[in-house]
Structure 1
Amino acid sequence: MIKIGSIELPDFPMLLAPMEDVSDPPFRSVCKVNGADLMYTEFISSEGLIRDAIKSRRKLDIYEEERPIGIQIFGGDEEAMGMSAAIVDAVGPDLLDINFGCPVKKVVTKGAGAGVLKDVDLMVRLTQSVIKNTHLPVTVKTRLGWDDQSKNIEEVAERLQDIGIAALSIHGRTRCQMYKGEANWELIGRIKDNPRITIPVFGNGDIDSPEKALEYKNRYGVDGIMIGRAAIGYPWIFNEIKHFLKTGEHLPLPTVEQRVAVIRQHLKYSLAWKGPVVGIREMRRHYTNYLKGFPNIKEFKSRLVRLDTYEEIDEVLDEVLAYYAGFVAQKISGHSLKGHPIVKQQNKEYL
């Protein structure tokens, strides 16, 4: 069992990474059902919370069925971070996470996110301000450092633990790498092996298959894995990894029916939370990911992203089911999700 404050997680938990414009309640709902043990909100600007910005406040929405869940904030001003921590505390999540890892230019240029990696003293002060203003366990998500010449994650881990953070999630890239190249888990493993580090350490970056999850678990000894991009359009990855770690066997790939069912669930949550206009518009970015690799799917996807009502979308999804039922009936095999991270390690018939 892994503990973060009073939160109890299973051994080697699966965490859903906080992702801007992705990790909203509708997306989190389908990940929770499919095995995510701990989830986070999209990151929230501390300055936005203080200004009472509608978009920032909206991101504070959490639901009982999502627990345990953390709210993530970012910022570069000590006072603002402290004040926003108090606001988050009042909302009542299970933990408060600080983002010291976002590499996006508009965040970094404000001295926030991964920008704070340039100034560890400031990082410590910001974290102290948050800890002083909340009763919640405070955790941190960060990167290895700013660039290859300044990988300071060992100093960061020790100093943040010393002031009281309850867990640390590390993305195995520098800020300058953005999301390019291969994540360096050697440094993540070094943090876990550090005898001074006693808090849970979660690894993040490039985990896109059950095999890789098992390999990295054994090689680097982390307490759990945080999954981000690999879950977009494929929330089944959490349970697939859990099953593989337990049994050494793969779960069957999700069928067309299962994929369409999750699309419908996601869409319904999106409509309920965002309303009919925004809910449908922002759902469009997900269809390509959910239907990735389907043979001859381009026509269906192009129609789905142009429709404006649930009823129209529902009809096209029925057509998708009927079309691929025909494939199965004709026993057409060999249509694999070529290139999909979950399938690269498997030789299974798709559909």
Structure 2
Amino acid sequence: MLIGAVAVAEPAVVLAPMAGVTDLPFRLLAKEMGCSLLYSEMVSDKGLLHNNCHTLDMLRIDDRERPVAVQIFGSEPASMAAAARIVARAGADIIDVNMGCPTPKIVKNGEGSALMRRPELARDILAAVVDAVQVPVTVKIRKGWDEESVNAVEIAALAEQAGVAAIAVHGRTREQFYSGTADWDIIRRVKERVKVPVIGNGDVRTPRDAERLLALTGCDAVMVGRASQGNPWIFRQIGHYLRDGGMLPPPSLEERLAVLARHLEMLIGHKGEHIAIREMRRHAAWYTKGLPRAAEIRLRLNQAESREDFALILAALRDRREGRDDE
């Protein structure tokens, strides 16, 4: 699959942008597991323009993760264009515009999925970003604001006219957040309307889900979000299934704990031990979901204060017999 001039390996299985999740260490692990295209956490245009240290740090890119898309959000064409130039200089292969985030603190500023309520502004923002940079520009949208204003097809058509090189569609409305069921038919309708690649997103939890999404919608790529949390193996599993038709076995307990420990070390190297330990508590809960006595494990991990604490907990887990989760 080509997004502009950027080649994306087939089968195209894409990591969704997730705030607080898809930082550099997480992306590198996903890449190692066969992810075709990585998206960063969403980055504030104003944060970039004000030289916010935390925001600028989110632009760190490692050549091992390419191709990588950096997602930006905002509500003004000029500031989004200026932010896009900063992102392009930082080395992003693709710049993605967030028009799908449903969180109140984003939409109250007219950003994220709120832009779907203002199609002309959405078009102007995309056109400004496309004109500002040489790298391909993509956009991530939702089905619409609510069931009374489903306009993904209209927004997608405007985005294509503005010059975007690909469109990702999450099959839920903003009103749904992440509840209910994703509407894959809206993805099919967008795919039928535009000529640029369409990336389908929503409710892809297994390799068979990915196969069904591709078959039912005709989309060009599958985007995986929450199902990858604590489970970077899903990219390897989906890729293998789509290529060869076979299901890979789930990772062993030893592999899960080894990747968890490595993820922690990568986070420490990226953000320092104090921040990494606190951020890793959430990741560790995802990695250990479904293990015997998972509730107890999560409690211990949430109390961990150092890499040594994590190592002791993981060592104890390795010595346990496998059993049924007691959640």
Q: Please indicate the TM-score interval, normalised by the length of the shorter structure.
A: over 0.9
In the TM superposition, residue 312 of structure 1 has moved relative to its aligned partner by 2.4
Give 2:258's aligned residue: 261
Task: Tell me what 1:34 maps to.
Answer: 33
Q: Report if aligned partners of 1:30, 1:265 keep a CA contact under 8 Å in 2.
A: no
Query: TM-score with structure 1 length normalisation?
Result: 0.90
For 1:38-57, what aligned pairs fall within 5 Å after superposition? 38-57=37-56
Question: 1:68 corresponds to which residue?
Answer: 67
Q: CA deviation at 1:310?
A: 1.2
TM-fit CA distance, 1:315: 2.1
Aligned to 2:304: 307
Letter in 2 for 1:60: L
Equivalences for residues 1-351 of structure 1 within 5 A: 2-194=1-193, 197-324=194-321, 327=322, 335=324
Which position in structure 2 is the counterpart of 1:343?
none
Contact 1:143 1:170 in 2 (8 A): yes
Relative to structure 1, is the Cα distance of residues 253 and 338 closer, same or farther in structure 2, using a 3 angstrom cutoff? farther
1:123-167 Cα deviation digits (max 9, x unpaired)? 011111111211110000011111111111111111111121000
CA distance in 2, matches of 1:40, 1:46: 16
Unaligned 5+ segments in structure 2 are none
SS in 2 for 1:251: coil
Deviation at 1:193, TM superposition (A): 2.1
Distance in 2 of aligned mates of 1:233 and 1:288 = 8
Conserved 8 A contact 2:293-2:326? no
Q: Deviation of residue 303 (structure 1)?
A: 1.7
The runs of at least 4 consecutive aligned structure 1 residues that moved more than 4 Å come to none
Q: Secondary structure at the match of 1:173?
A: strand
Local SS of the residue matching 1:93: coil
How many residue pairs were aligned? 327
Pair member with larger Rg: 1
Partner of 1:345: none
- How much has 1:206 moved relative to structure 2? 0.5
Give the share of equivalent positions with the same residue, in percent: 38
Whole-angstrom distance in 2 between the partners of 1:106 and 1:244: 39
Equivalent residue of 1:139, what SS?
strand
- Matches of 2:195 and 2:292 in 1, distance apart? 49
State whether residues 43 and 71 of structure 1, in contact with CA within 8 Å, keep that contact through their aligned partners in structure 2. yes
User: Is the Cα–Cα contact under 8 Å of residues 142 and 174 in structure 2 kept in the other structure?
Assistant: yes
**2:171–2:202 Cα contact (<8 Å) kept:** yes
Query: Aligned equivalents of 1:301 and 1:338: distance in 2?
Result: 12
Quote the offset at 1:311 in angstroms: 2.0
Distance of 1:149 and 1:317 partners within structure 2: 49
Instruction: Report deviation, 1:338.
Output: 10
**Aligned-partner Cα distance in 2 for 1:95–1:306:** 39
